[in-house]
Structure 1
Amino acid sequence: MSIIKPKVTAALALLAASVLALSGCGGGSSPGGEQPEGPKTVRLALTQDVETLLPMDSNVNDNIAVLDVIYDGLVRYRPETTEPYNYIASEISSPDNTVWTITIKDGFTFHNGEPVDAEAFARAWNYAAYGPNAVENNYFFERIKGYEEMQGEYEEDDEGNVTVTKEPTTKELSGVEVVDPSTLKVTLNAPFVGFSTMLGYTGFFPVAKACIDDVKACAVKPIGNGPFQVEEWEQGVKLTADRWADYKGEETPNYDRIEWTEYSGSSSWPDFQAGDLDTGAPPPAEWQSANNDPELTARKVERPGAGLTYLGFPLYKGAPWNNIEFRKAISMAIDRKTIIEQVLPGQAVPADSWVVPGGVPGGEAGTCEWCTFDPDAAKAALAKAGGWPEGKKLTISLGQNETQEQYFRAIGDQIKLNLGIEYELDPTPDFFARRGARDFDGAFRNNWFPDYPLNENYLAPVYASGDAKKGNTNFGYYNADFEKLIAEGDQSKSVEEAVAKYAEAEKVLAQDFPTVPLSFALAVTFHSDRVENVVLDPFSGATKLRLLKYVG
């Protein structure tokens, strides 16, 4: 997979404390939590400054959680196992893993009455793949034939305005063919055994023609095809959605209305305590008291998460970043266990691999040899690397978030304590744009959770590039053996064979050690007594709203 553009991915936009899973529903048993008579309403929190609800442009936890009940995709994932199963698709097949035939069930429509047919998926994928549309999920379509011809050259400013300097040669993927209303034929550039596994991701959702005709309006009030439809979105304040009476799908919640309130960071916790939200999790400072409250812990749900937080380096800027001994020194100087206990108690565990063990097929513990806290070995590695320039501070860049800053300040303190390297945090509001533009002079925070259940998704989108000279966009990493093993995995005859090849690629990554794994997420949420069957998403840790039951 070739990631050459500075695109934000779902994982990269996750906060370090995304494990808090601040998606939730109507009030609790606390004072003030009684709901008035009327529609069965669940009340949730949005905490990530959501900017759009256009599926092909939505790739952070909160967008995805909302769109999961507004739209239906070809495939959905079982929360217990992450296994994909057909939903809008009745069959997805391929004789060679290159040419795929997708058969779409009859009878599904969008909220405006348009049919959810092969054309609905083709128009959505073509819009997403067209470079100058500058949507965040563009790169998901690079495996499909004709993608490169749709990119051209363009620049996007901080306001989202796009200037095209070289027009693409086409506006449609040559590898996407509408055979008939119920049949979509997709031709890839090369075999990829995991293609059908990808198709439950938000970026592959269909869109109505009316949505493409007015994309700006659709981004605020989407025309979906799921069990709920957006009533109103007052951006930055509140988002409401009502049950769609004409929904034909099987996965329909038993409540009538969802109200999301937008918050900053973990500031929704007081409202959960007051009974105004149905799920939430406390900020780190209140974690211990919440977990010592028997009434709260009786309504606590947790599961291992799939999120990985890790430290990256600008390898493309040369020394000391491209010196593996320096990177080893940084890693072994960090006491992950102590930091988590102090800053993220009960919400993370120390990471020792690049693929979360047990989270997706192929995840294996212990692939990181230098993730064990060892200050003496860290000092020796730093000396071998030539030391650190006297009087210079190590800059650690990250997004602007209180919990992130606490977490990485603790990491910086460990580096200072165990290696004598002074540091400074660089919280920046345009973190992702700066990272994609290679604008960092020091280490920087990264986060990833998979968009589909395959160990390849932790590896290829993050580290592959196909460019031996420049390496991948974010780090400048390149290894021909790594790329070869990813390609061999893609071309395997079965998913099981592919998973084994991707695991070999992770071992190559482990030897090169381009980034430092820090922590794996633990998904945790508390819920009110007005809801039950609280199931957490195996990828993001958010509450699965289709499974949530309102009991009043």
Structure 2
Amino acid sequence: MTVARLAAGLSVAALALAGCGEGDSETATVRLGLTLTPEVATLLPMDANVRDNAEVLDVVYDGLVRYDPETTKPYNYVAEDISTTDNTVWTIRIKPDLQFQNDEPVDAASFARAWNYAAYGPHAMANNYFFERFAGYDEMQGEYEEDAEGNVTVTTEPTATELSGLRVVDDRTLEVTLDAPFSGFATMLGYTGFFPVAQECLDDVDACAIKPIGNGPFKIEEWDQGQSLTAEKWDDYQGAETPDYDAIEWTEYSGDSDWADFEAGDIDATFPPPAQWEHAVNDPDLSSRMVEGSGSMLVYIGFPMYLGKPFDDVEFRKAISMAIDRETIIEKIVPGRFVAADSWVVPGGVPGGVAGTCEFCTFDPEAAKAALARAGGWPKDETLQIHLIEDEESEAIFKAIGDSIQLNLGIPYELDPAPDYFDRRENRAFTGIMRAAWIPDYPLNENYLAPVYASGDPKNGNLDFGYYDAAFEDLITEGDAAPDLDTALARYQEAEKVLASDMASVPIAFTKNVMFYSDRLDDVVLDPFSGEVELRLLTVD
């Protein structure tokens, strides 16, 4: 099959704030905010996998494919063609005469070196796991430990330094061999972890993490980490999607603290914190400059099934789900920012997503009590621990969830916000239910399912929850091996039905993308994954 070129003619136009430059020239600059977190401490594509650094890299780099902001479907961009006859061996043909911002060629070798670097375990790249499907991935892992400062200690050296399933055929052609068929492979290739890198970047990875050498329409000028990040238009950019404004300035903020600067006119787009939501939507001027769209992040409850009763009992999981008044909680805590979830895949947001797959996501206190009784009740004199990240919004949401469970099922609870939440979850150190969230890395219903719940391990189940169902795993495998993407989507939908039957987790809410923007901007489109402004598509009034 070949990935269709869906939107080669996406319109791009001029934008933004006009400020004085030298002489009579004008410099149009867009000013935005970045969330200040440790995860945004790198702009190395192989190591960048959170919303804010992905937003920056989306205009600094061009990938093989890009995604249509309305349909989320991929269309070829740096790739001229992506094809396969068996879903296992893929041929990628790259457009000619493309360059990085240091004049190095964007060719097959530039992708191969980036992917091999990411796949090599001891490099400890955040996007390493995206190469698990490549033949030869296991031989590149070895055994190693990474401390809190990012220092890596290798205990067992990998037996390979390059993916055996990755071959440079010629300057413009890559051949990828997967370890098993995967019909959705081409869909993945617009993700940050698949961007190319210049050789100069790999020669000094630390420098590249601060000032990457991209192939996109903007180049990083300066990053004062923790303070601000500036990018200027690259005059020699050769791509079709070329914004006509000159610069982007990001200011780094903690949490929701950028709203006051937006109201003061210091930044051009953001969303209000919950306390300011009602004011914002009821202000005629502000609400006239609000854009909304379907979000993609699922917030859900996971269970430590590896502990046994009651968490491994499907009736207990149903009881927890039906005891939660999602609609009221969202309206009171995060109005306008979330919608109640009744499926494991965002409906309509990615191919294969449908609404209503979760029968037991409807608030029904009486049915919840009956399900709890069938599960044998809650252990007497025990308190339900609710484990979650340290985050003001998450704590408010899950306190309301805990209140709902306690009110409707009589189960006392205690919140456990933890700075080491992810380490504890990975080490199966939790004793109660846990707040979890998933943002898809590429637009396919499979990405909500297999990476979260599949394991291939009947004894231990998946890492975070201990879940395993052979029928679910078989359907994922059938979807991967399907002869075409439509058939694959149908198999993945059947796999979601298995999750629903098992109540493998409890969907709580999908995010709703909302952004308010300054009166200088127009044609504001939100990225369906990150919820951020599509910087290549902005126009100015």
Superposition TM-score, scaled by structure 2 size:
0.94
Taking the TM superposition and a 5 Å limit, the aligned residue runs for 1:134-533 are 134-533=124-523
Measured after TM superposition, the shift of residue 430 of structure 1 is 2.6
Distance in 1 (alpha carbons) for counterparts of 2:288 and 2:369: 46
CA positional deviation for 1:48: 5.0
1:44 aligns with 2:23: no
For 2:237 and 2:30, how far apart are their aligned partners in 1?
19
Question: 1:39-77 deviations in whole A, cap 9, x for unaligned?
Answer: 211111111511211111111111111110010000001
Look up the SS of the partner of 2:265 in the other structure: coil
Q: Which runs of 5+ in 1 are unaligned?
A: 1-24, 28-33
Residues 102 and 185, structure 1, Cα contact 8 Å, conserved in 2: yes
- Structure with larger RCO (C-alpha < 8 A, sep 6+): 1
Deviation at 1:292?
A: 0.3
Counterpart among 74, 77, 84 of residue 84 in structure 1: 74
Matched AA of 1:262 = E
Structure 2 contact 183–488 (Cα < 8 Å) conserved: yes
Check whether the contact 2:289–2:519 (CA below 8 A) recurs between aligned residues.
yes
Cα contact 1:40–1:550 (8 A) shared by 2:
no
User: In 2, distance between residues paired with 1:404 and 1:126?
Assistant: 37
- Confirm or deny: 8 A CA contact 1:153 1:165 kept in the other structure: yes
Distance 1:401 1:68 in 2: 26
Provide the C-alpha distance between the structure 2 equivalents of 1:160 and 1:294, rounded to a whole number of angstroms. Answer: 48
Structure-1 residue corresponding to 2:85: 95
Secondary structure of 2:240's counterpart equals: coil
2:429, 2:20 → 1: CA distance?
A: 52
- SS of the aligned residue for 1:64 comes to helix
CA offsets 1:221-273 (integer angstroms, 9 cap, x no match): 11111111111111111111111111111111121111111111111111101
**1:56 maps to which of 46, 64, 87:** 46
Match in the other structure for 2:3: none
Match of 2:361, SS? coil
- Are residues 440 and 48 of structure 1, via their aligned partners in 2, closer, same or farther at CA, if it must alter by over 3 Å? farther
For the residue of structure 1 that corresponds to 2:479, the secondary structure is: helix
Does the 8 Å contact 1:83/1:453 carry over to 2?
Answer: yes
The farther-off stretch of 226-235 and 315-324 is: 315-324
| 1:13 counterpart residue number | none
For 1:444 and 1:106, the matched residues in 2 are separated by: 49
Question: Structure 2: how far apart are the matches of 1:258 and 1:176?
Answer: 36
4+ residue segments displaced more than 3 Å:
34-38
Query: Amino acid of the residue matched to residue 480 of structure 1?
Result: A
CA distance in 1, matches of 2:424, 2:200: 34
Shift of 1:26: 7.3
- Assess if the C-alpha contact under 8 Å between 1:254 and 1:550 holds in 2: no
Structure 1 residues 4-83: aligned runs within 5 Å: 38-49=26-37, 50-83=40-73
**In structure 1, how many angstroms separate the alpha carbons of the residues matched to 2:285 and 2:19?**
20
How far apart, CA to CA, are the structure 2 residues paired with 1:346 and 1:370? 24
| Contact 2:16/2:539 (8 A) holds in 1 | no
CA distance in 1, matches of 2:432, 2:16: 43
Alignment partners' CA distance in 2, 1:117 and 1:341:
50
2: CA distance between counterparts of 1:347 and 1:410?
16
Once the two structures are TM-superposed, the CA of residue 461 in structure 1 deviates from its matched residue by 0.8
Secondary structure of 1:39's aligned partner: strand
SS of equivalent residue, structure 2 residue 114 = helix
Structure 1 residues 109-164: Cα deviation after superposition (integer angstroms, max 9, x where no partner) = 11111111000000010011111111111111111110111111112222222221
Query: Aligned residue for 1:4?
Result: none
Please tell me the residue identity of whatever aligns with 1:159: E
Summarize deviations over 1:349-372 as a string: whole Å, max 9, x none: 110110111011111111111111
Shift of 1:391: 3.0
Q: Distance in 2 between matches of 1:454 and 1:53?
A: 25
Counterparts of 2:223 and 2:380, CA distance in 1: 53
* Unmatched 5+ stretches in structure 2: 1-14
Deviation per CA, 1:453-505: give whole Å up to 9, x if none.
Answer: 11111101111111111111111111111111001001111100000000000
Task: Give the number of aligned pairs.
Answer: 521
Deviation string 1:67-126 (CA, Å, 9 cap, x unpaired) is 100100000011011111100000111111111111111121111111110000000100
- After TM superposition, the structure 1 stretch with the greater mean CA deviation from structure 2, 398-407 or 522-531, is 398-407
Question: 2:41, 2:230 → 1: CA distance?
Answer: 15
Which residue matches 2:524? 534
Question: Following TM superposition, by how much is the alpha carbon of 1:36 offset from its aligned partner in structure 2, in angstroms?
Answer: 5.3
**Other structure's SS at 1:370 match:** helix
TM (norm. structure 1) is 0.92
2:117 aligned partner: 127
Partners of 1:48 and 1:375 in 2: CA distance: 40
Deviates more, 1:288-297 or 1:47-56: 47-56
User: What is the rounded CA distance, in whole Å, between the counterparts of 2:498 and 2:171 in structure 1?
Assistant: 45
How has the CA–CA distance of structure 1 residues 534 and 377 changed in structure 2, closer, same or farther, with 3 Å as cutoff?
same
In the alignment, residue 272 of structure 1 is paired with which amino acid?
Answer: F
Q: Contact 2:144 / 2:155 at 8 angstroms: preserved in 1?
A: yes
Distance 2:301 2:36 in 1: 21
- Where 1:260 maps in the other structure, the secondary structure is strand
- Contact 2:16–2:540 (8 Å) recurs in 1: no
- For 1:56 and 1:355, the matched residues in 2 are separated by 26
Q: Are the counterparts in 1 of residues 295 and 531 from structure 2 also a CA contact under 8 Å? A: yes
Bigger drift between 117-126 and 413-422 goes to 413-422
